Amino acid sequence: MSRTHSSVAIIGSGPAGLTAAVYAARANLAPVVFAGHLYGGQLMLTTEVENYPGFPQGIMGPELMENFRLQAERFGAVLHFVDVTKVDFSQQPFRLWTEDDEFSADTVIVATGASARWLDVPHEARLRGRGVSTCATCDGAFFREKHIVVVGGGDSAMEEALFLTRFGKKVTVIHRRASFRASKIMADRVLAHDKIDVIWNSEVTEVLGAEKTEGLGLRNIETGETSTIDADALFIAIGHDPNTAMFQGQLDLDPMGYISSPDGVTTNIPGVFVAGDVFDVRYKQAITAAGSGCKAALEVEKYLEAHEAEHASALV
């Protein structure tokens, strides 16, 4: 097993990780990016991105991430398309393992993101980007005057349903119980909205449609009765899971498993920084993730400079 050292290791290759890579590379820090087997993050699962500034005609999610990657590589970032399997942040230099190799780094930027939960029902994966989505902000505008379904009963589902009333001719919320988990104020707004209907005690059993979403199979959980409804879009808002399993016991996590960061960039371990959805429960946008990647790289630069100065004065 070989071991390679770098001044900065970036774990994750979504907008946060790759923006951090661009900034760290331009600061001559030769960052090593652990991009994962599935590089690019959640935008690789999106079709057209219309709200990333700089692309007035919109851009496809995978193409945008390819541009991020090329920009980072242009300035010398080295990408490894492997997953980090284990880290040890208990001593300097920090250590990181992939399946075949071991690495060490003076600083680490954790940008492993969060994964939207999916329903895991037939044809959901096939129709992703063709009516099935986990991001109303990204995809809502494609369904003007259409019938839009939202699944979920938490604040995210309420927020998405309310947002989607701007586009859809009708929005139907499907929830598996008879009351919402969401805060009362959000739930009340949904219940009072004249464009929104709610189907209670029901689950989506399959997505229907050949080329695009055309309907949904439903099952009433109480009665077991099955039915279908017509739908042009299905927005799944049943929560996200932060990708933090390997940091348990190493970094402070909040009760939902997100990395705790009082200022949105540092962690409880000096020299380990955070960027993007892995700490950001609230905004979860590509542009906010990119911004936080930039912040993390600038903090890494300051941290390394301060430590170099400390080291130099210790040698005098």
Residues of this chain that bind ligand NAP (CB under 6 A)? 119, 151-157, 159, 176-177, 181, 203, 238-239, 281
Catalytic annotation, pick one of 106, 139, 232, 277: 139
Q: With respect to ligand NAP, which residue has the nearer C-beta, 57 or 223?
A: 223
Q: Where are the alpha helices (DSSP H) in the chain?
A: 15-26, 61-74, 136-139, 155-164, 184-192, 286-315
Q: What three-state secondary structure class fits 249?
A: coil
Q: With respect to ligand NAP, which residue has the nearer C-beta, 102 or 124?
A: 124
Q: With respect to ligand NAP, which residue has the nearer C-beta, 245 or 256?
A: 256
Q: Look up residue 60 and give its amino acid.
A: M
Question: Alpha-carbon distance 187 to 300, whole Å?
Answer: 42
Q: What three-state secondary structure class fits 311?
A: helix
Q: What three-state secondary structure class fits 60?
A: strand
Residue 201 CB, shortest distance to ligand NAP, in Å, is 10
Catalytic annotation, pick one of 138, 232, 277, 280: 138
Closest-approach residue to ligand NAP (CB): 154
End-to-end alpha carbon distance in the chain: 37
Residue 249 CB, shortest distance to ligand NAP, in Å, is 23
- 294 as an active site residue: the answer is no
Catalytic annotation, pick one of 106, 135, 280, 294: 135
Order across the sheet with 226-230: list the strands: 202-208, 215-220, 226-230
H or E element, residue 109: strand 102-110
Question: Alpha-carbon distance 40 to 59, whole Å?
Answer: 14
Residue 16 CB, shortest distance to ligand NAP, in Å, is 19
Q: With respect to ligand NAP, which residue has the nearer C-beta, 87 or 218?
A: 218
Residue 112 CB, shortest distance to ligand NAP, in Å, is 18
Catalytic residues: 135, 138-139
